[in-house]
Every structure is written in C-alpha cells, then in structure tokens.
Amino acid sequence: MNREEIIARAQDYIANETDSFFSDEVKSLLQKGDWKELEDRFYRNLEFGTGGLRGVIGGGFNRMNTLVVTRATQGLCDYLKEQFPSKPLSACIAYDSRRKSKEFSLATALVFAANGIKAYLFSSLRPTPELSYAIRMLGADTGVVVTASHNPPQYNGYKAYWNDGSQVVPPHDTGIIEKVLKVRTVNLVSEAGARAKGLLVNIDKEIDDAYVAMVKSHLQRPELFARLGKSVNIVYTPLHGTGAMLFERIMGDLGLNVLTVPEQREPDGEFPTVSYPNPEESAALAMAIALGKKTHADVVMATDPDADRLGIAVPNGTGGFTLVTGNQLGVLHLDYIALTLKELDKMPSRPAAIRSVVTTEFQTAIAENHGIASFECLTGFKWIADLMRRFERETYDFIYATEESYGHLIEQEVRDKDGISAAALTAEMTLYWRSKGKSLLDRLEDLYREYGYYEEKGLSFYFEGEQGMQIMKGIMSSYRKEPPQSFGGLAVIRTRDIQAGVERDKDGKQRRVDLPQSDVIQWRLEDGTLLTVRPSGTEPKIKYYVLCHGQGGELSLSKKMTQDKIALIEADIRTVVDSHRK
C-alpha cells in the first residue's frame, strides 16, 4: 500500500469515527509520519474469522474501535431486516472485562435501537455462554458479545450470534460482511432516546437465575454433592474476567468449598497478574496452583476472561499439580458422561458427540466403545452448533461437544462453549472418582491402559502484519504445490485438503470431503498419526496440531515412543516454517 492510499484511508476513518479517543490516535500518527504503524492499521479491514471480529484496540480500519464496531452492527442490522422483513426484531448484547468492552457494547446496543431493533443489554459484564443462553431464552433474533476471549490485553473482539444462540455461520457470516462493506452511514440514537422508546432494556438477574438453574439441572448425581461436597476443596481463578460471580454462586449452591485467588478475582482488562490470560498456558494458572498447594486443594480450575474456556490442574501425588490438557479433560468428560448415562439407564436412543477436526481422536474411540455416534467439524464452536442444529432435524441426541482449545459443552440450552457448566461437571466427576478411590489422573491412566496411549501437541508460529499474512499464505501454498511425502520419517498415506474439498490416498484415489471449505490441510501418516495445519481465524499465527496414538504394551514405554515421534515431526515442521521466514 503506497503512502497516498494510507493517507486517504486514514482521513476517511477520521471523518467517520465518533470516538475522539481513536480518531486522535490516527491524527497523531499522521502528524508524526509513522507510516509503518499506519500501514498496519489500514492495509486491510478487520474480517470475520472463526469467532467474528478480533483485533488490537486502536484507531484504524484494521483495529477494534467504535467505528469498526458500529459499522459491523449496522451491517448486521441491514442483514437482519432483509432476512426478516416483517418481524419485530430484538438482540442481546453482553461484554467482558476488557478495555473499551463496556463502551463498545453500549455503542452496539444503540445502533440496534436506532434501527428499530430492541436491544437487551446486560447491565454489567457477563460470560459469553450466558449471552448464548439469553438469546435462546428471550427468543432474540441475534446477539453480540464484546470480548477477545483469552487474547492479551491490547486485543478486543466482537462475536455475532444468530437466533439459535450460536455464532454466525455461512451463509449468514458472508451475508453480514457483504452488508458491512456497503455501510456508508451508521444509524445512531442517544441512550436516553433509546430507553424512552423501549428499544434499550437492561437484563441481569432474570437471566442469571435461569442460567444457574439450567447448569445445575444437567448434573446427574446430586447425592454426591450432599455426601462428599464438603470434602473437596476447589481453588479457582477467573483470570480477571467474568467468571467469578456465576462460578462461585453455582459451586456454593452445590455445597462445595471454593477459594478464589484474591489477586485475580476482580475484573481487570489489563490482566495485571498474567502476561496471557489463557487457561491453556501453565503460567496463567501459576498463582492458582501456588494457592492450591498451600491449601491442599483437590482441583484447581481457571476460566478465561469471558468464561467460555475451562482449564484445570490436579494433585499428582508428589506434592505438585499436573495440568490437564483440553484434550484430556474432554476425554474424561465424555467417559464420565457415557458411564453415568449407562449406569443411570438414561442413555438416549441415538446419542451423539462432537469434536473438532484438530481434537484428539481418543474422543472417537471412547464414543464408539459406548455406542455413541461421533461427529467431526471444523475448528470453532459455531461449527459444533451447526451440527447440533442438524441433530434436531435428524433426531440425534446431543450429549457432549469439545475442542482441544479447552472448549466444552454439556447442554443444549447454550450453543457455544461453556466454561461454567464444564466446571460444574468437572466438580461432579471429581467427586465420583473420589467415591471410587481414584483421582482424575488415576482415571486417565486407566483409559490409556484400556485404549492405548494418546498424546497431542499444538504448535503456533506468529506472523504479524501484511508481510506475515503473505508468509502464512506462502506456507499453505507450498504444501499444496509440493505435497509432503513424510513427516518425522513417517510416510504420508493420505492428504485431506479441506479448502479444496478433496481427500487423496497415496495411490491417487480421491474422495470428497464433507466439510465446509476452510484453509486446512491434514496428513495421515503410516502409523496413524494425524497432522493438521491451518492459519488462525482470530490471531496472526499459523497453527499445527499433531495427534498421536501410541501402540499397546507398557504405558511408560508407549509414552516415550510417542513423545520421540512427535519431536521428529515437530523438527520437520519447524524446518518448513523457518525456510519461509527467511
């Protein structure tokens, strides 16, 4: 992008941005002649990815700011009116603890109101799963949550939801974007004007109470809480986000002892005690684990800032705590749900579970062992919700969904991952295995002995800016032009290119891939290992996922062989990535 184009786009932005905080930023950059920064802010518009809009907070079309948020909302309004021309429309809006979240949520609500769409706005910050629940409970036509989930503090985001409480999927996502790109004028109304017309209404307690009751209704063994609840100590951290209010309330109602990390309990968009508020990262749980050791906790739990993800750590018998991965927790959940439904004679006639294409295949093995249909989908819980819609037409009975990035769902009343209900299930599961004389780690070891050892590893490589996007495109293009023949010394026997919609065997046979198009390539290796690569839809990085299944035999030996194999595959991946960085 040349300098004249940058100036023109910057001036267009300044002329239309209503928040001087952001427009003044761009004016200052122009005055300083900071062309590198300006190019990064204007070389593209933020686009909907797997989770909607997400970007660094600041002025510019490639940033999260009031203009980008209100234009997205105006486009959403235009699309809704086109889809439902004669229906009174309504929307639910929630927000988390991040910088500018409250301001962005109010701006969103006022655009809805200015377009004659009744806006139900939470009066204070709430978890993302509660937003999904509210849409379904109130019969709203759409919803928005302002959050950047587990990203660093400089990020914020905007997730758009459809009338079934799920994030938008095709054709609605592209339809909304087409409308957003055509927006030239945003309809606005004052907060007082919107409230006077009944087009802006606050919601809080009535949704909270119903959501809490719903979560508790999905627990299967209330007698465990009555009998053993007081014997289990939980240390919890909301990582300065939205989770504490509902987590503490539900666990308290269940009679469990919860100690919340005091330094991380209050909402704070600066996330002052962590560099990255992500329960996938061990550093994010460091304070909680330290408190867990001090208080002899039975389980440590953490939710991310919008409380849709759950991470846990459990005592390992040697005085420390072991972090349980998202894949492992999903396996433990599905195993427990299946055992419980069978034991209580509540297994539905056509049970179904869902996992993303990069989630452990251990899930499939457990599902099939219990007579549960196992479905796969693209990464992102909007695709899980899409399958749940299909189940309603095809009479499958949904029982569980998960993806490796610490997302879990046990209920149908929410159509997004839910860290709060997953925590309640995890507490029940902990009590159950304690009643059997086992810890969660003991049960995991039992499953490895029964099914064989599974290990998964994710690798992320960051590429910032326009040049970074080109590097990631180059990596994906090189894989397609010259398909790899092996990784880590293991031959590729099958390649699945989800963007092309084709799966090819090494002998040239090919078949159609029954998944929506997405920039994802998967390789099946001769030993059964599955390797996946995809650019992230929400962050400037390319991600690899290695899913390995160790052979039978002695468990410690199987673990070592699997880990050695992953190390060799990782070395080959890094060689390719490094060659594109040069």
SS3 of 503-518: the string is: EEECCCCEEECCCCCC
- In tens, the pLDDT along 14-64 reads 999 999 999 999 999 999 999 999 999 999 888 765 557 899 999 999 999
Rounded CA separation 264/237 (Å):
6
What average pLDDT does the segment 392-397 reach? 92
The predicted pLDDT at position 536 comes to 84
Residue of 218, 214, 220, 251 lying closest to 130 (CA atoms): 214
What average pLDDT does the segment 213-224 reach? 96
Residue 156 has pLDDT above 90, yes or no: yes
Residue of 338, 332, 340 lying closest to 351 (CA atoms): 338
Catalytic residue, from 23, 90, 105, 149: name it.
149
Task: Please provide the distance, in angstroms rounded to a whole number, between the alpha carbons at the two ends of the chain.
Answer: 22
Rounded CA separation 300/403 (Å):
20
Both tokens of 83, joined, read 């889809």
Rounded CA separation 249/301 (Å):
15
Both tokens of 244, joined, read 């504490």
The predicted pLDDT at position 49 comes to 57
DSSP classification of residue 148: -
- In tens, the pLDDT along 184-201 reads 899 999 999 999 999 999
Q: Give me the percent of the chain exceeding a pLDDT of 90.
A: 90
What is the chain's mean pLDDT, rounded? 95
- Burial (Cβ within 10 Å: 0-12, 13-18, ≥19) of residue 16: middle
Q: Give me the percent of the chain exceeding a pLDDT of 70.
A: 99
Strand, helix or coil for residue 260: strand
The predicted pLDDT at position 268 comes to 97
Of 124-128, 202-206, 229-233, 333-337, least confident by mean pLDDT is: 229-233
- In tens, the pLDDT along 555-574 reads 999 999 999 999 999 999 99
β-sheet bridge partners, residue 374: 353
Which ranges of 59-188 does DSSP label H, i.e. alpha helix? 66-83, 101-114, 128-138, 172-182
- In tens, the pLDDT along 96-145 reads 999 999 999 999 999 999 999 999 999 999 999 999 999 999 999 999 99
The predicted pLDDT at position 47 comes to 79
Task: Please answer whether residues 244 and 238 qualify as being in contact, where contact means their C-beta atoms are separated by less than 8 angstroms.
Answer: yes
- In tens, the pLDDT along 243-267 reads 999 999 999 999 999 999 999 999 9
The predicted pLDDT at position 552 comes to 67
Strand, helix or coil for residue 53: strand
- In tens, the pLDDT along 447-503 reads 999 999 999 999 999 998 778 889 999 999 999 999 999 999 999 999 999 999 999
User: Which domains, and CATH codes, for the chain?
Assistant: 3-203 (3.40.120.10), 454-581 (3.30.310.50)
Q: Which helix (H) or strand (E) holds 26?
A: helix 20-32
- The phi and psi torsions of 224 (rounded to 5 degrees) equal -65, -40
Residues 6+ apart with CB under 8 A from 32: none
- The phi and psi torsions of 346 (rounded to 5 degrees) equal -120, 10
Kindly tell me the sign of the dihedral angle through the C-alpha atoms of 383, 388, 389, 394: positive
Task: Please answer whether residues 389 and 382 qualify as being in contact, where contact means their C-beta atoms are separated by less than 8 angstroms.
Answer: no
- 518 labelled catalytic: no
Residues 6+ apart with CB under 8 A from 241: 96, 97, 267, 277, 303, 304, 305, 306, 307
- In tens, the pLDDT along 262-319 reads 999 999 999 999 999 999 999 999 999 999 999 999 999 999 999 999 999 999 989 8
Which ranges of 269-418 does DSSP label H, i.e. alpha helix? 286-295, 326-343, 362-369, 381-394
What average pLDDT does the segment 522-535 reach? 97
Both tokens of 28, joined, read 């200052």
Both tokens of 241, joined, read 């986000």
Strand, helix or coil for residue 408: strand
The predicted pLDDT at position 530 comes to 98
